[in-house]
């Protein structure tokens, strides 16, 4: 399973990248706005910087919702760097646009996916990635991991090439459960990635080893 970081914060992207286990980045308009990025030039510069930090796919989301606007914006985003993946919302014009990008060799990430039916449509249109938002599903008292399992099962049964990118990760257990479910990619906040490191027995064991090591010096 590949690890993407789900943020537009450059310090966090650098920290995750320095771990050596980062495969890519996803952003969305909320994450970009949180970093105070305003205006087309600033957006372009920010994506370029992210692409310079991480050598892997970087999802950049379109703001438009009509086919024409999505295509226009997607072309501009894709021209920023070879690693840009155009992130397109799961709407009717979005599906049409994903098919257009597929036919024109531009990678896509179909976002805001909450059902297996939507994931089938995204795959039919040739999306490179499909992003089911499992945390938001859990927030509404449904089981997000079940959806990941269902989509993975359908894609395997049908031979779809679209990669399942588990998104809206809330904690380290989500990452473990996505790995069990067979997700191709998990896009996570830095806190969830670092959360994977934690175990009290590791801390206690290390304390003891360090204390014993001192007696040997």
Closest to 135 in 3D by CA, of 209, 61, 192, 194: 192
Do 192 and 169 contact (CB within 8 A), yes or no?
Answer: yes
131 binds ligand E4P per the rule CB under 6 A: yes
**What x-and-dash track marks residues 160-179 binding ligand E4P by CB under 6 A?**
-------xx-----------
Q: Is 7 exposed, middle or buried (0-12, 13-18, 19+ CB in 10 A)?
A: buried
Give min distance, CB of 189 to ligand E4P, in A. Answer: 7
**Termini Cα distance of the chain:** 42
Give min distance, CB of 147 to ligand E4P, in A. Answer: 14
Binding-site member from 133, 149, 152, 162 for ligand E4P (CB under 6 A):
133
Which residues 59-98 are close enough to bind ligand E4P by CB under 6 A? none
Determine the Cα–Cα distance for residues 26 and 57; give it in Å rounded to an integer.
8
**What x-and-dash track marks residues 99-128 binding ligand E4P by CB under 6 A?**
------------x-----------------
Q: From the candidates 75, 87, 92, 198, which is the catalytic residue?
A: 87
- Classified as helix, coil or strand, 203 is helix
Closest to 108 in 3D by CA, of 72, 147, 62, 151: 62
DSSP character at residue 126: T
5 binds ligand E4P per the rule CB under 6 A: no
Which of residues 17 and 28 has its CB atom nearest to ligand E4P in the complex? Answer: 28
Do 123 and 158 contact (CB within 8 A), yes or no?
Answer: yes
136 binds ligand E4P per the rule CB under 6 A: yes
Q: How far is residue 166 from each of residues 25, 47, 74, 118, measured CA to CA in Å? A: 13, 22, 22, 14
Binding-site member from 85, 135, 163, 193 for ligand E4P (CB under 6 A):
135
Q: Is 87 a catalytic residue?
A: yes
Binding-site member from 3, 13, 22, 26 for ligand E4P (CB under 6 A):
26
Return the active site residues.
87
Residues in contact with ligand E4P by CB under 6 A are 6, 26, 28, 111, 131, 133, 135-136, 167-168, 187
């Amino acid at each position: 399973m590949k690890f993407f970081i789900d943020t537009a914060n450059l310090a966090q992207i650098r920290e995750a990248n320095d771990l050596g286990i980062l495969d890519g980045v996803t952003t969305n308009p909320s994450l970009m706005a949180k970093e105070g990025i305003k205006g087309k030039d600033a957006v372009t510069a920010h994506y370029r910087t992210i692409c310079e930090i991480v050598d892997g796919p970087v999802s950049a989301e379109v703001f438009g919702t009509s086919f024409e606007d999505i295509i226009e914006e997607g072309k501009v985003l894709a021209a920023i760097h070879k690693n840009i993946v155009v992130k397109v919302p799961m709407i009717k014009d979005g599906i049409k646009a994903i098919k257009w990008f597929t036919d024109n060799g531009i990678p896509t990430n179909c976002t805001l996916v909450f059902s297996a039916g939507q994931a089938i449509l995204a795959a039919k249109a040739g999306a490179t990635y499909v992003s089911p938002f499992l945390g938001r599903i859990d927030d509404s008292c449904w089981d997000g991991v079940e959806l990941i399992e269902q989509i993975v099962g359908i894609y395997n049964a049908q031979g779809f090439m679209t990669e399942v990118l588990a998104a809206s990760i809330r904690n380290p257990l989500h990452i473990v459960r996505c790995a069990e479910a067979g997700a191709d990619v998990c896009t996570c906040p830095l806190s969830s990635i670092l959360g994977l490191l934690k175990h009290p027995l590791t801390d206690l064991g290390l304390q003891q080893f360090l204390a014993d090591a001192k007696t040997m010096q």
